[in-house]
Amino acid sequence: MGTIIELQNVGFIAEKQDIIKNLSCQFEEGKASALIGPSGAGKSTILKLAAGLLVPTQGAVYLRHEDISLMNHERMLNFRRQAAVVFQDSALWANQSLYQNMELPLRIHFPQMPKRERDQRINEVLAEAGYQKDLMMRPAKLSMGEQKLIAFARAMVCRPVLIFLDEWIESLDENAVQRLINIAKMHKDAGHTIIFVSHDFRVVKYLADYVFIIIGGVLTMKLTGAQLTSDMALAQYIEKGIVS
Protein backbone atom coordinates (compact mmCIF):
# COMPACT_ATOMS: atom_id res chain seq x y z
CA MET A 1 0.00 0.00 0.00
CA GLY A 2 3.03 2.29 0.31
CA THR A 3 4.38 4.63 2.91
CA ILE A 4 1.97 6.30 5.31
CA ILE A 5 4.43 8.02 7.66
CA GLU A 6 7.95 9.03 6.79
CA LEU A 7 10.62 10.56 9.00
CA GLN A 8 13.25 12.34 6.93
CA ASN A 9 16.57 13.20 8.60
CA VAL A 10 14.76 13.78 11.85
CA GLY A 11 16.64 15.11 14.84
CA PHE A 12 15.22 15.99 18.22
CA ILE A 13 17.09 18.03 20.79
CA ALA A 14 15.76 18.57 24.31
CA GLU A 15 17.63 20.35 27.06
CA LYS A 16 20.66 20.62 24.78
CA GLN A 17 20.80 16.85 24.38
CA ASP A 18 20.56 15.02 21.08
CA ILE A 19 17.72 12.61 21.80
CA ILE A 20 17.13 11.55 18.17
CA LYS A 21 19.93 11.83 15.66
CA ASN A 22 19.35 12.26 11.95
CA LEU A 23 16.83 9.44 11.73
CA SER A 24 15.15 8.48 8.47
CA CYS A 25 12.57 5.74 8.22
CA GLN A 26 9.32 4.88 6.51
CA PHE A 27 6.30 3.17 8.01
CA GLU A 28 4.17 1.21 5.63
CA GLU A 29 0.41 1.57 5.42
CA GLY A 30 -1.57 -1.46 6.54
CA LYS A 31 1.41 -3.01 8.31
CA ALA A 32 2.57 -3.31 11.90
CA SER A 33 5.95 -1.79 12.65
CA ALA A 34 7.73 -2.29 15.95
CA LEU A 35 10.24 0.07 17.52
CA ILE A 36 12.49 -1.84 19.87
CA GLY A 37 15.62 -0.98 21.80
CA PRO A 38 16.98 -0.43 25.29
CA SER A 39 15.39 1.88 27.85
CA GLY A 40 16.11 5.51 27.07
CA ALA A 41 16.94 4.74 23.42
CA GLY A 42 14.39 7.23 22.12
CA LYS A 43 11.48 4.94 21.13
CA SER A 44 8.72 6.98 22.77
CA THR A 45 10.19 10.16 21.34
CA ILE A 46 10.18 8.68 17.83
CA LEU A 47 6.59 7.50 18.28
CA LYS A 48 5.50 10.99 19.32
CA LEU A 49 7.40 12.54 16.39
CA ALA A 50 5.74 10.08 14.00
CA ALA A 51 2.33 10.90 15.49
CA GLY A 52 2.93 14.62 15.05
CA LEU A 53 2.86 15.27 18.78
CA LEU A 54 6.45 16.47 18.89
CA VAL A 55 7.99 18.75 16.29
CA PRO A 56 11.46 17.71 15.13
CA THR A 57 14.27 20.18 15.69
CA GLN A 58 15.77 18.97 12.42
CA GLY A 59 14.24 17.30 9.34
CA ALA A 60 10.55 16.63 8.79
CA VAL A 61 7.78 14.10 9.31
CA TYR A 62 5.36 13.36 6.47
CA LEU A 63 1.90 11.85 6.48
CA ARG A 64 1.29 10.49 2.99
CA HIS A 65 3.97 12.90 1.69
CA GLU A 66 2.49 15.92 3.47
CA ASP A 67 4.74 17.68 5.98
CA ILE A 68 2.83 17.40 9.26
CA SER A 69 4.29 20.65 10.63
CA LEU A 70 2.80 22.56 7.67
CA MET A 71 -0.74 21.19 8.03
CA ASN A 72 -3.49 23.71 8.63
CA HIS A 73 -5.95 23.24 11.46
CA GLU A 74 -8.45 21.34 9.36
CA ARG A 75 -5.82 18.93 7.93
CA MET A 76 -4.42 18.35 11.41
CA LEU A 77 -7.88 17.62 12.81
CA ASN A 78 -8.46 15.18 9.97
CA PHE A 79 -5.17 13.44 10.80
CA ARG A 80 -6.08 13.32 14.50
CA ARG A 81 -9.49 11.82 13.69
CA GLN A 82 -7.89 8.89 11.88
CA ALA A 83 -5.04 8.37 14.31
CA ALA A 84 -4.89 7.26 17.94
CA VAL A 85 -2.07 7.15 20.45
CA VAL A 86 -1.78 4.99 23.54
CA PHE A 87 0.89 6.65 25.67
CA GLN A 88 3.39 4.71 27.76
CA ASP A 89 2.09 6.37 30.94
CA SER A 90 -1.58 6.15 29.79
CA ALA A 91 -1.89 9.97 29.97
CA LEU A 92 -5.51 9.97 31.10
CA TRP A 93 -6.95 13.38 31.95
CA ALA A 94 -6.57 13.38 35.73
CA ASN A 95 -9.31 15.88 36.53
CA GLN A 96 -11.95 14.12 34.40
CA SER A 97 -13.93 11.00 35.19
CA LEU A 98 -13.19 7.82 33.24
CA TYR A 99 -16.42 8.37 31.34
CA GLN A 100 -15.37 11.91 30.39
CA ASN A 101 -11.97 10.56 29.31
CA MET A 102 -13.73 8.14 27.00
CA GLU A 103 -16.26 10.64 25.73
CA LEU A 104 -14.03 13.63 24.92
CA PRO A 105 -12.43 12.24 21.72
CA LEU A 106 -15.91 11.50 20.34
CA ARG A 107 -17.16 14.98 21.28
CA ILE A 108 -14.19 16.57 19.50
CA HIS A 109 -14.13 14.44 16.37
CA PHE A 110 -17.81 13.56 15.97
CA PRO A 111 -19.67 16.54 17.43
CA GLN A 112 -22.91 15.51 15.70
CA MET A 113 -22.95 12.04 17.24
CA PRO A 114 -25.94 11.57 19.58
CA LYS A 115 -25.19 10.69 23.21
CA ARG A 116 -26.85 7.31 22.81
CA GLU A 117 -24.42 6.38 20.04
CA ARG A 118 -21.46 7.76 21.98
CA ASP A 119 -22.40 5.60 24.95
CA GLN A 120 -22.79 2.58 22.72
CA ARG A 121 -19.32 3.11 21.26
CA ILE A 122 -17.81 3.63 24.70
CA ASN A 123 -19.40 0.45 26.04
CA GLU A 124 -18.28 -1.48 22.99
CA VAL A 125 -14.58 -0.56 23.24
CA LEU A 126 -14.53 -1.00 27.01
CA ALA A 127 -16.03 -4.46 26.69
CA GLU A 128 -13.45 -5.37 24.05
CA ALA A 129 -10.64 -4.11 26.27
CA GLY A 130 -12.15 -5.97 29.24
CA TYR A 131 -12.83 -3.06 31.60
CA GLN A 132 -16.03 -3.56 33.55
CA LYS A 133 -15.87 -1.29 36.59
CA ASP A 134 -17.41 2.06 37.43
CA LEU A 135 -16.75 4.89 34.95
CA MET A 136 -17.52 7.74 37.30
CA MET A 137 -14.18 7.48 39.13
CA ARG A 138 -11.14 9.63 38.43
CA PRO A 139 -8.13 7.84 36.85
CA ALA A 140 -6.04 8.15 40.03
CA LYS A 141 -8.30 5.54 41.70
CA LEU A 142 -7.27 2.89 39.17
CA SER A 143 -4.30 0.56 39.16
CA MET A 144 -1.68 1.10 36.45
CA GLY A 145 -3.04 -1.89 34.55
CA GLU A 146 -6.61 -0.60 34.70
CA GLN A 147 -5.43 2.80 33.49
CA LYS A 148 -3.81 1.05 30.54
CA LEU A 149 -7.09 -0.63 29.65
CA ILE A 150 -8.93 2.69 29.74
CA ALA A 151 -6.17 4.41 27.74
CA PHE A 152 -6.38 1.67 25.13
CA ALA A 153 -10.19 1.78 24.97
CA ARG A 154 -10.11 5.58 24.73
CA ALA A 155 -7.73 5.32 21.78
CA MET A 156 -10.09 2.92 19.99
CA VAL A 157 -13.27 4.90 20.51
CA CYS A 158 -12.97 6.94 17.30
CA ARG A 159 -12.20 3.78 15.29
CA PRO A 160 -8.69 4.79 14.20
CA VAL A 161 -6.94 3.47 11.12
CA LEU A 162 -3.49 4.65 12.20
CA ILE A 163 -2.58 3.42 15.64
CA PHE A 164 0.44 4.33 17.78
CA LEU A 165 0.96 2.08 20.80
CA ASP A 166 3.66 2.76 23.37
CA GLU A 167 4.21 -0.27 25.65
CA TRP A 168 0.47 -0.79 25.72
CA ILE A 169 0.45 -4.29 27.17
CA GLU A 170 3.27 -3.97 29.68
CA SER A 171 2.08 -4.43 33.30
CA LEU A 172 -1.17 -6.16 32.30
CA ASP A 173 -2.23 -9.66 33.30
CA GLU A 174 -1.95 -12.42 30.72
CA ASN A 175 -5.66 -12.41 29.79
CA ALA A 176 -5.65 -8.68 29.23
CA VAL A 177 -2.44 -8.96 27.21
CA GLN A 178 -4.08 -11.54 24.96
CA ARG A 179 -7.18 -9.39 24.51
CA LEU A 180 -5.25 -6.28 23.56
CA ILE A 181 -2.94 -8.17 21.23
CA ASN A 182 -5.97 -9.71 19.52
CA ILE A 183 -7.52 -6.29 19.05
CA ALA A 184 -4.27 -5.01 17.52
CA LYS A 185 -4.17 -8.05 15.25
CA MET A 186 -7.78 -7.42 14.16
CA HIS A 187 -6.84 -3.88 13.20
CA LYS A 188 -3.90 -5.15 11.23
CA ASP A 189 -6.07 -7.72 9.44
CA ALA A 190 -8.50 -4.91 8.61
CA GLY A 191 -5.67 -3.11 6.80
CA HIS A 192 -5.00 -0.51 9.49
CA THR A 193 -1.50 0.72 10.29
CA ILE A 194 0.09 0.05 13.64
CA ILE A 195 3.33 1.53 14.93
CA PHE A 196 4.20 0.15 18.33
CA VAL A 197 6.85 0.05 21.01
CA SER A 198 7.23 -3.06 23.12
CA HIS A 199 9.79 -4.78 25.30
CA ASP A 200 7.78 -8.00 24.95
CA PHE A 201 9.56 -10.00 22.30
CA ARG A 202 6.68 -12.47 21.87
CA VAL A 203 4.45 -9.62 20.76
CA VAL A 204 7.07 -8.20 18.46
CA LYS A 205 7.47 -11.58 16.77
CA TYR A 206 3.71 -12.16 16.60
CA LEU A 207 2.59 -8.76 15.37
CA ALA A 208 5.41 -6.95 13.60
CA ASP A 209 5.84 -6.94 9.84
CA TYR A 210 8.82 -4.63 10.30
CA VAL A 211 11.15 -4.12 13.23
CA PHE A 212 13.21 -0.97 13.76
CA ILE A 213 16.02 -1.24 16.28
CA ILE A 214 16.76 2.03 18.02
CA ILE A 215 19.91 2.50 20.07
CA GLY A 216 21.07 5.86 21.42
CA GLY A 217 18.60 7.82 19.34
CA VAL A 218 19.82 6.21 16.13
CA LEU A 219 18.07 3.74 13.83
CA THR A 220 20.60 0.94 14.03
CA MET A 221 18.90 -1.82 12.07
CA LYS A 222 15.70 -2.55 10.20
CA LEU A 223 14.42 -6.11 9.88
CA THR A 224 11.29 -7.79 8.64
CA GLY A 225 9.14 -9.76 11.06
CA ALA A 226 9.76 -12.79 8.84
CA GLN A 227 13.51 -12.52 9.47
CA LEU A 228 12.90 -12.65 13.22
CA THR A 229 10.66 -15.68 13.02
CA SER A 230 12.86 -17.61 10.58
CA ASP A 231 16.35 -16.77 11.89
CA MET A 232 16.51 -18.21 15.42
CA ALA A 233 20.07 -17.03 16.07
CA LEU A 234 19.26 -13.47 15.04
CA ALA A 235 16.05 -13.50 17.10
CA GLN A 236 17.92 -14.75 20.17
CA TYR A 237 20.66 -12.16 19.73
CA ILE A 238 18.12 -9.36 19.52
CA GLU A 239 15.95 -10.65 22.35
CA LYS A 240 18.86 -11.10 24.77
CA GLY A 241 20.93 -8.12 23.72
CA ILE A 242 18.43 -5.44 22.85
CA VAL A 243 14.84 -5.94 23.90
CA SER A 244 15.00 -7.26 27.43
Ligand X SMILES: Nc1ncnc2c1ncn2[C@@H]1O[C@H](COP(=O)(O)OP(=O)(O)OP(=O)(O)O)[C@@H](O)[C@H]1O
Report what 126 binds from ligand X, Mg ion, none; CB cut-off 5-8 Å by kind: none
43 is a site residue for ligand X (CB under 6 A):
yes
What Å distances lie between residue 159 and 65, 107, 208, CA to CA?
Answer: 23, 14, 21
Give every CB contact of residue 142 below 8 A, 6+ residues apart in sequence: 98, 150
- Write the DSSP assignment of 39-94 as a string of letters: TTSSHHHHHHHHTTSS--SEEEEEETTEEGGG--HHHHHHHHHHEEEE-TT----T
Report what 45 binds from ligand X, Mg ion, none; CB cut-off 5-8 Å by kind: ligand X
Question: To the nearest whole angstrom, how small is the minimum distance from the Cβ of residue 233 to Mg ion?
Answer: 28
CB neighbours (10 Å) of residue 45?
22
Question: To the nearest whole angstrom, how small is the minimum distance from the Cβ of residue 174 to ligand X?
Answer: 21
Question: To the nearest whole angstrom, how small is the minimum distance from the Cβ of residue 38 to ligand X?
Answer: 7
Draw the binding track, 26-65, toward Mg ion (x: CB under 5 A; -: no contact): ------------------x---------------------
Residue (131 or 196) nearer to Mg ion, CB: 196
Q: Within positions 65 to 124, which residues make up the interface with Mg ion, using CB under 5 A?
A: 88
23 is a site residue for ligand X (CB under 6 A):
no
Question: To the nearest whole angstrom, how small is the minimum distance from the Cβ of residue 191 to Mg ion?
Answer: 27
